Amino acid sequence: MNSRPDNSWIGAVFIGLLVWGSGCITPRAPGADTRQGPPESAWKSSSPGEDTVMIVGINDFHGSLLSKERKLPNGQGVWSGGASALAGMIKILKEESEGRLLIVDAGDEWQGTIESNQVKGASVVEFFNRIGVSAAAVGNHEFDFGVPNMSARFLQAKYPYVSGNIFEKKSGERVKWKNMIPSKVFEVGGYKIGIAGFSTVQTPSTTRYEYVKHLDFKDPASVLGPEVEALRSKGAQAVLVTAHAGTICEEKHGLREWRLLDRSSPQGACDPEHEIPLFLKGMPQGSVDGVIAGHTHQVIHHFLNGVPVVQGEAYNQYFNILYLVFDRATRRLIPEKTRIEGLIPICEQVFEGADHCDVRRLDGKKSPEMVQAMFHGKPVSPDLSVERWLLPIREGTEKFRREVLATSELPLTHFRDREGSFGNLLADVLRQKGNADFSLVNSGGIRTSLDSGEITYDGLFRALPFDNLLNVVELKGSDVKLLYRIATSGAHGVIGVSGLELTLIPFDQEAPKEDLNGNGRLESWETRRLIRIRKADGEEIEDQRTYRIATFDFLVNGGDDLGWFFSKVPSRAIRRDKTGYCRDLVTEYLKREKKINTREHPLLDPDHPRIKFAPRSE
Q: In CATH, what number does 402-613 get?
A: 3.90.780.10
**pLDDT, tens digit (0-9, with 9 covering 90-100), for 473-489:** 999 999 999 999 999 99
Closest CA to 7 of 576, 356, 525: 525
> What average pLDDT does the structure give for the chain?
91
Average pLDDT over residues 219-229: 96
460, HSE (Cβ side, Cα atoms, 13 Å): 28
Sequence spans of domains, the chain: 18-395, 402-613
> The pTM is what?
0.85
Residue 19 — very low, low, confident or very high, per pLDDT cuts 50/70/90?
A: very low
- Mean of pLDDT values over 526-549: 97
* pLDDT above 80 (res 37): no
pLDDT above 90 (res 410):
yes
Give me the CATH code for the 18-395 domain, please: 3.60.21.10
Q: pLDDT per residue over 57-75, tens digit each? A: 999 999 999 999 888 888 8
Query: What's the average model confidence in pLDDT over 360-386?
Result: 91
DSSP 23-69: TT-PPPPTT--------SS----S-TTEEEEEEEEE---TT--S-EE
What torsion, rounded to 10 degrees, do the Cα atoms 94, 96, 101, 107 define? Answer: -60
The per-residue pLDDT for 14 is: 38
pLDDT value of position 1: 53
Burial of 116 (0-12, 13-18, 19+ CB in 10 A): buried
Nearest residue to 176 via CA among 184, 186, 166: 166
